[in-house]
Amino acid sequence: MSTPAPPTPDGLPVLGHALAFSRDPLAFLERSVGDHGDVVGLSMPGNSGVLVAHPAEIERVLVDDADAFPKGDFQRRELGGLLGDGSLIADGETWRRRRQALQPAFYARRVEAAEPAMRAATRQVAGDWRDGDTVDAFDAATTLTLSVLADAFFDVDVADDHDTIAAAADAIAARFAHDEGIPFYVPDWVPLPSHRRYKRAVTDLEGVAYDLADTGADDASDVLAAILDSDLGREELRDELVTLLLAGHETTSTALTAAVHCLATNPGEQARVRDALDAADDPADADSLRAAVDEALRLYPPVHMLMREAAEPTELGGYRVPEGSLVGLPQWVVHRDDRWWDDPEAYRPERFIGDDTDDRPEFAYFPFGGGQRQCIGRRFALQELRVALAELLADYRFEATDDTDFDPAPGLTLRPGGPVEVRVRER
């Protein structure tokens, strides 16, 4: 008996599932897996693929058979104008060479050396807060992560480009958003306002990246110097630095916003974390803080779905997957699956402490991906999140207001769709 094709939601002629996905991507992902199981067939104009939502099959795609599931042509086609042939979307020897060139910048000693700058950036952002002020957590987190990028990562005048980088990130997010009901794969030559802003954003980011690439290694931070001292050419440096300018703050600012939102809307959990920090010799390394961050990343993973491509005909979960099929691995769905998580919609950091962690498959939780292509900045991001929260909770507690809402807006990454307001109280 031949291997069957995966079950597929009802779709439209020609458009397939594009319209339903564009209208509400997260709900579509949840509904598709909930109605049809762990492997679901999908079709879009010019593309077909599968959603894979079981941890064992996700592990196979990312780890066991990773070479059979490369990033593929789709991501290079959609993101090449932004990221060039950078390590985030490259495959094979190109990826290995780029990854090797970047790796020294993320050695543990360099990440640990950035901690004072992370603390200073946090204190600077919160320096003007007064008891009872209402702040936009996402705006504050964006300012903080850009400051860390400038001071701890590059140590050059990236701070002067703060507004340029933030505006470019917003324009890029709009390009890949779905709030206008327009699929993200509409070609860039279509004269949409979001496409015009996107092209300007790419040009602006390139300008910052080229300035960094032309920095003398003697004038750069230890981290930037490690990248500049590699064998990458100027255009290759452009690709990697654009990636770092975006990924270095965009996903971390979303994660920090999510953590603040979760703590503000769960005051009991916030009090438990704060008490643990007060008693800890090293607050940023306290188990309760680590768990609070991990649980926020579970509920609001900044990368809400990884994409791979089947390099050859294969099967996943007992279903046929043709060569060239897109393979979507939806963290948003898996992180909220009640088979692996009790009361999955609730914010419960204790699930990441103690024996509870042994009861779940490894890839029931993968906010940074996994395998050989796990996010290279994982250690840096986690340290930044923990240091920032430890500093903030030492002086403030967060209160929810009527406008404390994290309304996820999925696009290239997951980010809040608007301000996330919280009230700050001095301790």
Instruction: State how far Cα 366 lies from the chain centre.
Output: 11
The stretch 246-267 carries a mean pLDDT of 94
Question: Where do the structural domains in the chain lie, given as residue ranges?
Answer: 18-426
pLDDT at 333 over 60: yes
Highest mean pLDDT among 154-163, 269-278, 408-417: 269-278
pLDDT at 187 over 70: no
Residues 6+ apart with CB under 8 A from 285: 386
Going 133 to 137 to 143 to 148, the CA torsion angle's sign is positive
| pLDDT for 158 | 61
What CA–CA distances, in Å, run from 290 to 97, 293, 351, 423?
Answer: 33, 5, 11, 23
- Top-level CATH class of 18-426? mainly alpha
Q: For residue 410, list its beta bridge partners.
A: 414
What is the rounded (10 degree) CA torsion for 77, 78, 80, 81?
Answer: 120
- Give 358-402 pLDDT, tens digit per residue: 689 999 999 999 999 999 999 999 999 999 999 999 999 999 999
